[in-house]
């Protein structure tokens, strides 16, 4: 029995962040009267916005070789501005917005993939450099935008509720379910995990490695773009630092969730709980009245210590 439990814990790494969320919630609920179901819904909404880019980041990290997408904050911010820029206030206009953002974000992802795969620039540098160019693009769009008229459909998606349940949370859950399904039940998922464990072995097994890696960069960029659109709907506009938190938090959610930083294994459910745990930690710190500085420190420490502990889990 104990053996089966330990096997279950090992093969389902999402259980750890899930326990973390549970424990933190119990502690908070018993310690403070303020931390109610209502504040949990606040946590859920913040976590939902984090989840899309985190899932994208997870796919990129899973390809191994130290791949990581640092252009996520740039894509989020630019897309939020594009959403404001292209908004006409109508739902038809919103469809155009979605198309434009998906196209541009997809192209950015493709650029990242080309830099990494063809020019063999390390992913971290390539995506950092793309992020720089995106920063300028954002400034240019910024100088062009006027007043934001939010399309009703965007308002519903980003800030609406169904039966009192935030729509954005539903979206996030759907995204998690779809990603989990893709990873565990499709040939794509198996190929991706194979590439992440050993690109050489994957190539010799007959997997076409480059398209798999390229697809993760494109996916990461597109979901980050959609997040930017949703964020603009939630915040009612765009601002320059909008995407910044998603840099560390997307990596943090992935790592906390039990996805291996060295690649080859990922869990969408883990990333869901990892994201929630991270947001809860931040919320707790805010409720506890910790200054923003201490919040930064704690986030950094959490990510590093989880890595130090989990780093040896690789059975290589």
Partner 1 sequence: METGLATGAGALEQRAFLSLSGIGKSYGHTRAAEAIDFTITGGEVIGLIGANGAGKSTLMRILAGVTEPSEGSVTLCGEPLNLATYSPRVARDVGVRIVWQELSLSPNLTVAENFYIEQPQLGRFSPFWLRDYHRMASEGIERIFPGTNIPTGRLLAELSIAERQIVEIARAASDPNLKLLILDEPTSSLAAERSAQLRRFVKSLARSGVTVIFISHKLAEVLDVADRVVAMRNGRLVWQRGAEEASVSDLISAMSGAEAGEVGERRHSDPDAARPVLAMIGTGLTGSPGRSIELRAGEIVGVAGLEGSGQRELLQKLFASRSSVDVQRSSDRIRYISGDRQREGVFPLWSVLDNILIGRIARQSSLAPVGRAGLRPRAVELARKLALDDARFDAGILDLSGGNQQKVLVARALIDDLDIVLLDDPTRGVDIAAKRDFYKLVRQIADAGCLVVWHSTEDLEFLECDRVLVFGSGEIVAELSRDEITEDNVVAASFIQPIHSNAAERNRGGGGGPAIVRSIPFVSLFAVFATMAWLNPVVASGFGVELLLAPAVTLVLIALAQMFVVGGSEIDLGIGAFAGLINVVSATLLVTSPLLGIAGLACGLLGYALVATLIQVRAIPAIVVTLGASFIWTGVGRTIQPSPGGGAPDWLRDLFTRSLPGIPSPLLLILVAAVTAYMIDRSRTGTVLRAFGSSPLALRQAGWSPLRFSIYRYGIACMFAMAAGLYVTATNGASDINAGASFTLLSIAAVVIGGCQLLGGLIAPLGVVAGAVTLSLIGALLASLGVSTDYNAAVQGALLIVILGLQAIALARRRHG
| Cα gap 239→235, rounded to integer Å | 9
Enumerate the β-bridge partners of residue 166.
161
Least distance from partner 1 to the Cβ atom of residue 278, Å = 12
State the distance between the two ends of the chain, measured CA to CA, in whole angstroms: 27
For partner 1, give the closer residue by CB, 173 or 262. Answer: 262
# of chain residues touching partner 1 (CB under 8 A):
70
Q: Among residue numbers 1 through 40, which ones bind partner 1 (CB under 8 A)?
A: none
212 to 251: interface string for partner 1, x by CB under 8 A: x----------------------------------xx--x
| Residue corresponding to tokens 């934001």 | 148
Among 5, 33, 147, 204, binds partner 1 (CB under 8 A): 204
| Cα gap 206→143, rounded to integer Å | 49
Q: Write out the two tokens for 31.
A: 């310690």
Q: Are 311 and 259 a contacting pair, CB within 8 Å?
A: no
Q: Which stretch binds partner 1 (CB under 8 A): 28-36, 133-141, 163-171, 232-240?
A: 133-141
Least distance from partner 1 to the Cβ atom of residue 312, Å = 7
Among 33, 119, 154, 214, binds partner 1 (CB under 8 A): 119
Which one, of 218, 219, 244, lies nearest residue 231 by Cα? 244
Among 9, 27, 174, 301, binds partner 1 (CB under 8 A): 301
| Residue corresponding to tokens 């200054």 | 291
For partner 1, give the closer residue by CB, 98 or 282. Answer: 282
Least distance from partner 1 to the Cβ atom of residue 248, Å = 6
For partner 1, give the closer residue by CB, 131 or 151. Answer: 131
Which one, of 97, 37, 126, lies nearest residue 231 by Cα? 97
| Residue corresponding to tokens 């995204």 | 175
Question: Nearest-5° angle of CA 19, CA 21, CA 25?
Answer: 115
Among 12, 96, 198, 210, binds partner 1 (CB under 8 A): 198
What are phi and psi for residue 264, nearest 5 degrees?
95, -10
Q: Does the protein bind partner 1 through residue 173 (CB under 8 A)? A: no
For partner 1, give the closer residue by CB, 102 or 198. Answer: 198
Classify burial at 130, counting beta carbons within 10 Å of its beta carbon; exposed 0-12, middle 13-18, buried 19 or more.
Answer: buried
Task: Give residues in contact with partner 1 (CB under 8 A).
Answer: 66, 68, 115, 119-122, 124-126, 128-133, 135-137, 139-140, 143, 185-191, 193-194, 197-198, 200-202, 204-207, 212, 247-248, 251, 255, 260-262, 264-265, 291-301, 303-304, 307-308, 311-312, 314-316
């Amino acid at each position: 029995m104990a053996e089966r439990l330990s096997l279950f814990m090992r093969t389902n790494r999402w259980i750890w962040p899930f326990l973390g969320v549970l424990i933190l919630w119990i502690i908070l609920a018993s310690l403070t009267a303020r931390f109610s179901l209502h504040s949990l819904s606040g946590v859920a909404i913040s976590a939902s916005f984090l989840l899309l880019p985190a899932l994208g980041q997870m796919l990129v990290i899973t390809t191994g070789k130290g791949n990581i997408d640092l252009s996520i904050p740039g894509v989020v911010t630019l897309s939020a501005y594009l959403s404001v820029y292209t908004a006409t206030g109508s739902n038809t206009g919103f469809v155009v917005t979605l198309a434009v953002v998906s196209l541009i974000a997809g192209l950015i992802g493709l650029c990242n993939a080309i830099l990494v795969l063809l020019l063999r620039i390390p992913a971290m540098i390539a995506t950092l450099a793309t992020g720089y160019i995106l920063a300028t693009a954002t400034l240019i769009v910024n100088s062009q935008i006027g007043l934001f008229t939010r399309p009703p459909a965007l308002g519903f998606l980003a800030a609406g509720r169904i039966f009192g349940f935030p729509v954005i949370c539903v979206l996030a859950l759907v995204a998690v379910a779809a990603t989990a399904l893709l990873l565990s039940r499709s040939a794509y998922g198996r190929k991706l995990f194979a590439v992440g464990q050993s690109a050489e072995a994957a190539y010799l097994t007959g997997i076409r490695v480059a398209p798999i890696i390229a697809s993760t960069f494109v996916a990461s960029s597109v979901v980050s773009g959609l997040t930017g659109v949703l964020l603009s709907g939630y915040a009612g506009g765009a601002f320059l630092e909008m995407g910044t938190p998603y840099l560390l938090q997307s990596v943090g959610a992935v790592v906390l969730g039990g996805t291996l930083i060295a690649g080859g294994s990922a869990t969408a459910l883990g990333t869901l709980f990892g994201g929630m745990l991270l947001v809860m930690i931040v919320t707790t710190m805010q409720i506890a009245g910790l200054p923003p500085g201490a919040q930064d420190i704690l986030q950094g420490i959490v990510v590093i210590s989880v890595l130090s502990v989990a780093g040896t889990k690789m059975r290589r």
